[in-house]
Structure 1
Amino acid sequence: MDSNKRRHVGHRRDNTVLPLAAGVAVVAASCLTLFVKALLKRNSKPTQKQGKGREGGSAPKSPGAGAYVRGMREREYVRLIPDVEMLSLQSLLRRIQKARGWQFRDDAARDQAWARVLATAQSAAGGAWPLDFTPNDVTPEQLQALCDAVEAEFLGGLLAEQVRRAGRPRIRVVLGVDPRDPYSWLSGLHEDNTIFVNSNRWREEVSQDNPLVFEGALCRSKLEALAHTLGHELTHAVVLNFFPAMDASSPAYTPDDKHGPVFMWLNRRLFGHVGHASKRLFNT
């Protein structure tokens, strides 16, 4: 009897444990299923960090998702640059930074580069420029030397190299009257790589007492203002010669007379310029 009782009790114990174990297993499986579903649902939603894929702004929008408006902040207009164009621009920027030896975020290095441009321009080899030049006294050789100095310091010579490889006309600077617009602009780039510097706009004074704020840069001499102006035009030349398709039809470059998001983004990184070209007015 004792033996049978023990077997009976043992049998009852087994029947109790098995249903409990099965129940626990079912509950655990259900919880695991719910956890996996919740995890998959969470991962399927883009987070704010996942949306950031470029320096200077949030996730890019597809072309046509918005229109460029002058005065946009960088974090707004950078979204209008298509991914394929931004990748090309970033790749070129890395090459330029390597060639010139300093990063676009290095404000001190940029200031030193502008100082070297002015020192070179005032030297005999650089054209012996006076700080307050008179347009009638400027020679073509002086203009070319100044443009070459800006290109070498800020673009590392890569633009000149690209022009040679493509078999395009050399970038040259002409002082005179731009037939397209003789009064409004300080300068302008033509399709044949000619930069017109409008002599009508360079007869006004630029000095310590009457400086010119050129796209965020405070210029205390006419020579300094001209150097920054050539930098602006070289930004256009970069797009024209490295990315001709972008220059011709990109919705991120062509708006506002080719001063759209691509131009604004490059001009800031290459030369430290902010603002917009249409506001380049001499103080009076």
Structure 2
Amino acid sequence: MTRLSTTARTRLIILGGISAASAFVLWLLERRPGGHDGDYTPPLPQYKRGMRERDYVRLIPEDELVRVKGLLRRVYNLRSWFNDTESISRAWVNVLAAAQKPEGGGWKLDFDIDQVTPSQLSALCAAVELYFLGGLLAQQIRKSRRPALKVLPGEDPRDPYSWLSGLHDDNTIYINANRWRETISDENPMNFEGALCTSKLEALAHALGHELVHAVVLNCFPDIDAASVAYLPDDKHGPIFMLLNKKLFGHVGHASQRLFNIA
């Protein structure tokens, strides 16, 4: 009789332990988002400036990433080269050489911003677009019957302190003249998004490349420009911008920096 009671008590203890463990598991399920439905997925980390490519690419929704990669393939096919460092460096050299020719605007490396004309700015922007985007952006703008890209000298009241103002919805970019009176030279270079610029013309070409990334998104993916959680962070410099800026123009980040703080 005593042995039988001990066995019964042992079974009760085991069953009690199982019940307690089951209750604890159910309590955990109740506390997590999604409850019992099994639809819970851990939240993705928030985008932060300085993230590595492998980390920020994970934050781009799959359908948007597919579209962006498709656009990159089209650009690479049009320009007949990929995004390797050597090809990108050569393309920037070609842009500067084209810009200094009469048909490219007759630019000087150390130009006087007060003497720059809209036609020169348009020619430089067109050269950057052609060498790096293969004409795809220009084609898309014409196809969509959107306003043509314009680069205008002067000062944009919306952003008078940047080298360029952000792209406007009508495809207009303003050159903020007060910034382009500064000196950029071999002795006073600038790091523009990872590119070492030793002339104002070189810095301006890279700045236009930055704005052309915004123009690509605005004109090719207007829905992404308006609402994508992977484009809007950091004033529209989120993961999608970072990926395109790197893969199209070789830019790292989206900031310019004086190397020696010389006025």
Mark the runs of 5 or more structure 1 residues left unpaired by the alignment: 1-61
In the other structure, the counterpart of 2:31 is none
- Could you say which structure has the larger radius of gyration? 1
Q: Secondary structure at the match of 2:102?
A: coil
AA paired with 2:181?
Answer: R
- Kept in 2, the 8 Å contact 1:193–1:237? The answer is yes
Tell me, in whole angstroms, the C-alpha distance in 2 between the residues paired with 1:162 and 1:182: 30
- Among candidates 136, 143, 148, match of residue 170 of structure 1: 148
- Per-residue deviation at 1:192? 0.5
AA paired with 2:45?
Answer: G
- Among candidates 99, 102, 127, match of residue 121 of structure 1: 99
1:224-258 superposed Cα distances (whole Å, 9 cap, x missing partner): 00000000000000000000000001010001100
Work out whether 1:88 is the aligned partner of 2:88: no
- Per-residue deviation at 1:66? 2.4
- Per-residue deviation at 1:64? 5.7
In the other structure, the counterpart of 1:266 is 244
Q: Secondary structure at the match of 2:181?
A: coil
**Aligned residue-pair number:** 220
In the other structure, the counterpart of 2:157 is 179
In the other structure, the counterpart of 1:73 is 52
Percent identity (aligned): 62
- Kept in 2, the 8 Å contact 1:63–1:80? The answer is no
Tell me, in whole angstroms, the C-alpha distance in 2 between the residues paired with 1:78 and 1:240: 20
- Per-residue deviation at 1:281? 3.5
Work out whether 1:143 is the aligned partner of 2:97: no
In the TM superposition, 1:4-43 aligns within 5 A as none
- Kept in 1, the 8 Å contact 2:189–2:196? The answer is yes
- Kept in 1, the 8 Å contact 2:159–2:165? The answer is no
Q: TM-score, length-normalised on structure 2?
A: 0.81
- Per-residue deviation at 1:185? 4.5
- Kept in 2, the 8 Å contact 1:78–1:265? The answer is yes
- Higher relative CO (CA 8 A, sep ≥ 6), structure 1 or 2? 2
Tell me, in whole angstroms, the C-alpha distance in 2 between the residues paired with 1:141 and 1:89: 31
- Per-residue deviation at 1:63? 11
Tell me how large the CA RMSD over aligned residues is: 1.4
AA paired with 1:240?
Answer: L
- Kept in 2, the 8 Å contact 1:135–1:202? The answer is yes
- Kept in 1, the 8 Å contact 2:245–2:252? The answer is yes
Q: TM-score, length-normalised on structure 1?
A: 0.75
- Among candidates 172, 175, 195, match of residue 217 of structure 1: 195
Q: Secondary structure at the match of 1:213?
A: strand
AA paired with 1:207?
Answer: S
AA paired with 1:89?
Answer: V
